[in-house]
């Protein structure tokens, strides 16, 4: 019998009573559980990207068995293989599953409502990002005016040094949360001088928002503001996109509106300003 159930086994199991099936799990279910071990081993690898030997070791199975599961996952889009070095990582189907699960969380549902209103008020594009395994990940993209042509989309991972969302995540998270990604980004692309970066993060914490113009996508500008929960933990970043040709995009009125939307979302998640916490 292979690790994947064959048709004969399915027919035999179907002849059993519901009580028998409930008491003794079918081998096909065990096969799925084995497959999940492979996915968990992949996710547990540093950066969620690893060669076959590391995944097999993490799943505690032979390389040949792990390889068969990975090939099946590649065929369904759950896993993808890098052509350059043969390493495996999660694929587009896995992203869809993850985003579907995230959409059930209150933070997504609540924040999306304020983002929708913000995008409509400013007649521009609104973004909602969360911190994922690979960095700031866009999970909501709402057009409130003329759609902006860009390669960014739901599921896109933003750079942490050169995007307003990435800078906000660094400013309001402890260093261990992003140190590995920062080091990797510095090795792969142009980086910001450490002294300059720390000055930027200090200013972002002081003013409560970050803005960039053209660093991620030439011609596009962005404003991002943090969203906190009742434990004062950064849980998401709300932002808007505009064109650099729009000289009014960075006006204080726009910044105030983005901050107001983020504040309402934070309050809805149970966060309270420090002065209110002191009175309670």
Residues 116-130: pLDDT tens digits?
Answer: 999 999 999 999 999
Element (H, E) at 233: none
Chunk the chain into consecutive blocks of 10 residues (it has 280) and report each block's average pLDDT, rounded to whole numbers.
40 42 52 87 83 93 93 92 89 80 71 91 93 89 77 87 95 94 86 92 97 83 93 92 87 96 91 56
Instruction: Identify the residue whose tokens are 């189907």.
Output: 93
pLDDT at 10: 41
pLDDT at 162: 92
Tokens of 54: 């590391």
pLDDT at 130: 93
Alpha helices in 60-174 (DSSP H): 63-76, 92-102, 106-122, 164-171
pLDDT at 211: 95
Our CA dihedral for 260, 265, 267, 272, rounded to 10 degrees, sits at: -70
Q: How far out from the chain centre does Cα 235 lie?
A: 11
pLDDT at 105: 62
Residues whose CB is less than 8 angstroms from the CB of residue 229 and which lie 6 or more positions away in sequence, other chains included: 107, 235, 266, 269, 270, 271
Give me the phi and psi of 97, to 5 degrees please.
-65, -45
Tokens of 52: 């076959």
Q: CA of 59: how far to CAs of 3, 28, 233, in Å?
A: 14, 18, 33
Q: How far apart are the first and last CA of the chain?
A: 65
Residue 197 to residue 16: CA distance in whole angstroms: 65
pLDDT at 153: 84
pLDDT at 16: 45
């Amino acid at each position: 019998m292979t690790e994947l159930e064959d048709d004969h086994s399915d027919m035999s199991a179907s002849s059993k009573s519901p009580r028998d099936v409930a008491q003794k799990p079918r081998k096909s279910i065990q096969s799925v559980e084995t497959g999940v071990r492979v996915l968990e081993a992949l996710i547990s690898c540093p950066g969620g990207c690893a060669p076959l030997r590391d995944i097999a070791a993490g799943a505690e199975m032979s390389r040949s068995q792990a390889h068969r599961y990975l090939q099946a996952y590649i065929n369904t889009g759950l896993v993808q293989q890098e052509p350059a070095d043969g390493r495996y990582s999660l694929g587009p189907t896995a992203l869809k599953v993850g985003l579907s699960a995230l959409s059930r969380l209150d933070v997504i549902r609540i924040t999306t409502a304020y983002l929708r209103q913000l995008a409509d008020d400013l007649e521009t594009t609104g973004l909602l990002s969360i911190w994922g395994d690979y960095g700031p990940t866009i999970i909501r993209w709402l057009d409130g005016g003329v759609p902006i042509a860009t390669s960014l989309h739901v599921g896109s991972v933003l750079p942490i040094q050169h995007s307003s969302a990435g800078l906000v995540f660094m400013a309001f998270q402890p260093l261990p949360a992003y140190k590995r990604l920062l080091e990797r980004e510095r090795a792969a692309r142009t980086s910001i001088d450490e002294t300059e970066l720390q000055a930027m993060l200090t200013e972002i914490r002081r003013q409560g928002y970050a803005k960039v113009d053209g660093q991620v996508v030439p011609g596009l500008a962005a404003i991002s503001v943090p969203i906190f929960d009742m434990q004062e933990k950064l849980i998401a970043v709300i932002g808007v996109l505009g064109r650099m040709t729009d000289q009014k995009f960075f006006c204080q009125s726009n910044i105030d509106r983005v901050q107001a939307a983020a504040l309402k979302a934070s309050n809805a998640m149970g966060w309270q300003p420090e002065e209110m916490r002191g009175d309670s």
